[in-house]
Chain A
Amino acid sequence: MTNLFSDLANSANLEKSISPSSAWRQLWLRPLLSPDVLAPGAVGLLLLLFWEIGVRVTNMPPYLLPGPLLVFQTLVSEWGTLFPSMLITLKITLVAFIAAVVSGLLISILFTQSKWIERSFFPYAVILQTTPIVAIAPLIILWVRQAVPGESSTFVSLVICAWLVAFFPILSNTTLGLNSADHNLINLFQLYRASRWQTLRYLRLPSAMPYFLGGLRISGGLALIGAVVAEFVAGTGGTSSGIAYQILMSSFNLQIPRMFAALLMTTALGVAIFVALTVFSDLMLRNWHESAVKREN
């Protein structure tokens, strides 16, 4: 996977130096023709083919296992109800993710400013992380309903659940990164009497970048999972319900092809989030970090 995405990032680099038309070819064709895409693509197509043939040969009823063609048809016909639901889930995920990034970054900076703060509060971050979200989601929903009555209540409680899940990887990775600056460089900054702020800005934050971006990738997927799980628990109807609600309803009504279509959308969303964050991370690190740099040897 990573190779493919660094291909994308590198071809974005090449773009500047070559003519526009070949630039487009470079940008799209090369990564699409690379073995990193062709091999899994071929496997996927084969699997779908076997699935379709299997369903047809065995006369499998669609309420047990629909064939991929039927799922795809349902996806198209139900697009009008499924897509808005997905957008709601996406919105919850994004808000929770951004909240997780900002809070994780700020708290990890706070941790590295004082060993005592880290000692005192880190265990509680771990406790928050290890408590299963399914178990505390009903509580959160109940409390938020007391505090924020009305329409936005569900949205807020779902965001809080997703944030709880997405927050920890950012916090722990960034804390690790901020503490792993090269000790010779720390000495150098000390020697030139750099202020706390300068050391943070010019040394600790850049050193933490690869760790932070790693946390970002994990946390993006977790935010989605958190949102979906919390939606399952909340199970609200009405106009503003997310993709998990659609999955739940389809399974109650035995609309299994519709359930598959909704599942497919959720998975696609998760993959899209991962791809976007990977490309972003490779772009950020392309000049210096081993994970993003193509070495000659």
Chain B
Amino acid sequence: MNPSSAFQLSDVSKVYTNGTVALKNLDLTVNEGQFVSLLGPSGCGKSTVLRMVAGLGKMSAGTIYWGGSSQRRLAYVFQEAALMPWATVQENVRLPLKLAGMSKAAADTAVAEAIALVELTGFEHSYPRELSGGMKMRVSIARALVTKPEVLLMDEPFGALDEMTRSRLNSDLLHLWQQKQWTVVFVTHNIYEAVYLSNRVVVMAARPGRVVADVAIAAPYPRTEEFRTTPLFNNYCREISGCLAHASGQLLLRPDAEAKAGDVINQIA
């Protein structure tokens, strides 16, 4: 095993108890400090990969090797915000520290910091029902960051956000990642987001879930907003959307297919 790898999934398969083959013979190595995005059609097993990495549920076959980091220094932002409805924002964010046995006073600074990071200062005492969908997701991100993790698993964390907030949180996340040297595995449906953020974009296909493409994004960090307008960025996006279309088994992204789709829409209108 490569010494610089954070973890390595080797020949992993996952069959759920109802018989769904979510993953089949999947190999994935993520190096320490790497930012890897998982991209793929809905139901292809992206969340399942994260669950296996986090040790939630048994793998049906295969192994995971841990390198320098450990599974203990891992944080997970779930696809749903998964907040405790009976607890305030502050109490929700403090939960991981409380479970680790840290006193309230000792946790307070870290909690305030994490809340400030996702720009929810002022909402500490609100209950989840008083927050919008995007705000709940930010609380969930703050809860993940509060433990100062080494490995960060994020399952479509910005899916519920508007374009403006999403791109702001993208650059914040990138900034933090460079600063803290996390290893990040980031699930998204958004090709632009994946290319903008990642060292590597891993494209998956469904039934059974497997890796079909692994594209290295060779652009230097820090990446600014201008990067989004460069030809390099566009080339990567085109390449990956090609892979994705292939993985989905649909060729909707071909120009003639798009024209057809346009015709249908015109007819309906």
What is the interface of chain A, defined by CB distance below 8 A to chain B?
182, 184-185, 187-194, 198, 202-203, 206, 209, 287-289, 293
What is the interface of chain B, defined by CB distance below 8 A to chain A?
51, 54-56, 72, 74, 76, 78, 80, 82, 84-87, 95-96, 98-100, 127-129, 147
If A184-B78, A187-B56, A288-B129 touch, whether A192 touches B84 (CB-CB below 8 Å) is no
How far, in Å, is A16 (CB) from chain B's closest CB?
Answer: 15
Please, how many angstroms separate the alpha-carbon atoms of A189 and B78 in the complex?
13
Q: Which residues of A contact B96 (CB under 8 A)?
A: 192
If A182-B82, A288-B85, A289-B85 touch, whether A191 touches B74 (CB-CB below 8 Å) is yes
Q: Which residues of A contact B95 (CB under 8 A)?
A: 188, 192, 202
Instruction: Across the interface, name the chain B residue whose C-beta is closest to A206.
Output: B86
> Are the CB atoms of A188 and B78 closer together than 8 Å?
yes
Please, how many angstroms separate the alpha-carbon atoms of A56 and B98 in the complex?
71
How far, in Å, is A291 (CB) from chain B's closest CB?
Answer: 12
Please, how many angstroms separate the alpha-carbon atoms of A62 and B86 in the complex?
55
> Are the CB atoms of A202 and B98 closer together than 8 Å?
yes
If A191-B54, A206-B84 touch, whether A293 touches B129 (CB-CB below 8 Å) is yes
Please, how many angstroms separate the alpha-carbon atoms of A206 and B86 in the complex?
7
Q: Which residues of B contact A206 (CB under 8 A)?
A: 84, 86-87
Instruction: Across the interface, name the chain B residue whose C-beta is closest to A295.
Output: B129
If A184-B78, A191-B76, A206-B84 touch, whether A287 touches B127 (CB-CB below 8 Å) is yes
Q: Which residues of B contact A187 (CB under 8 A)?
A: 51, 54, 56, 76, 78, 82
Please, how many angstroms separate the alpha-carbon atoms of A184 and B136 in the complex?
14
> Are the CB atoms of A190 and B85 closer together than 8 Å?
no
Instruction: Across the interface, name the chain A residue whose C-beta is closest to B57.
Output: A187
How far, in Å, is A210 (CB) from chain B's closest CB?
Answer: 10
> Are the CB atoms of A193 and B78 closer together than 8 Å?
no
